[in-house]
Amino acid sequence: LADGPLTGKHVLVTSGPTHEPIDPVRYIANRSSGAQGTAIAKALLALGARVTFVTGPAEVPPPQGVDLVAVQTAREMLEAVQAARDVDAGVFAAAVADWRVASASEQKIKKDSSELPVLEFAENPDILATVCASDDRPALVVGFAAETENVIAHATAKRARKGCDWILANDVSPATGIMGGSENAVTLITAQGAEDWPRMGKDEVAARLAQKIAEALG
Ligand code: C5P
């Protein structure tokens, strides 16, 4: 581990999408490359933190040097998050599927020309809100908000609703090109208000967030 302002601190990061099975070969998911979560884990490692990295099936490889927990579904992600002990800060960058298929089929659903399948959904647990309400809530909890309009208003409301300390909000409307791209333009929402960060690389967003976390925990 590197030596730095986060030496001795344990930070948990969730990243990537979750996959919710329909049957053994099909799933539903959110669009998420895992790029921002991975960059945040790297930036935290660089400042000396021990990082537990709970990731769904992401496109980018996980960083070297983390305590890696690979999961598929939201329920598995919640379990892995709850299993982490003595967490000083949590960064919830995963794009968790809001719903799962209520009863996934154990066998591949066969194509039947006379009848189309109908999927029934069940609500997934909100991992961020669950952690914020738990007895061993980390001292600092950071959530994300991907919005397509009224970014600050929606993210401020989300911060209150989820019970987290900070929300890193971004505008993912298609015109921004942020989704799947290498840059991000975020607003940090805290109890003190909203702070716009200039458009920058996802690794620079990560470095700046890691620095802020170090200051807050310091
Ligand atoms: O409600 P929404 O999905 O917009 O909230 C986004 C934030 O909540 C992100 O930090 C995301 O990782 C987290 N989240 C979660 N579990 C869910 C849904 C969202 O941890 N089931």
User: Which pLDDT score is estimated for 61?
Assistant: 97
Q: Which residues are catalytic?
A: 30
- pLDDT exceeds 90 at position 144: yes
Residue with CA at minimum distance from ligand 1 atom 21? 126
User: Quick check: CB of 40 below 6 Å from ligand 1?
Assistant: no
Mean pLDDT of 186-195: 96
Contact 186, 169 (CB under 8 A): yes
Q: What element of type H or E holds 186?
A: strand 186-190
- pLDDT tens, position by position, 44-88: 999 999 999 999 999 999 999 999 999 999 999 999 999 999 999
Find the 144 Cα to ligand 1 centroid distance in Å: 7
Mean pLDDT of 143-169: 95
Contact 44, 142 (CB under 8 A): no
User: Which pLDDT score is estimated for 148?
Assistant: 87
User: Quick check: CB of 205 below 6 Å from ligand 1?
Assistant: no
- pLDDT exceeds 80 at position 160: yes
Mean pLDDT of 107-126: 93
User: What are the Cα distances from residue 80, in Å, to 12, 32, 63, 94, 107?
Assistant: 10, 19, 18, 13, 27
User: Which pLDDT score is estimated for 41?
Assistant: 98
| Average predicted confidence (pLDDT) for the chain | 95
Find the 126 Cα to ligand 1 centroid distance in Å: 6
User: Quick check: CB of 96 below 6 Å from ligand 1?
Assistant: yes
Residue ranges with strand state E in 30-182: 50-55, 67-70, 89-92, 99-101, 121-123, 140-147, 166-171
Find the 127 Cα to ligand 1 centroid distance in Å: 7
| CA–CA gap between residue 10 and residue 84 (Å, rounded) | 10
- CA 209-54-42 angle, to 5 degrees, is 40
- pLDDT exceeds 90 at position 186: yes
- pLDDT exceeds 90 at position 184: no
User: Which pLDDT score is estimated for 180?
Assistant: 66
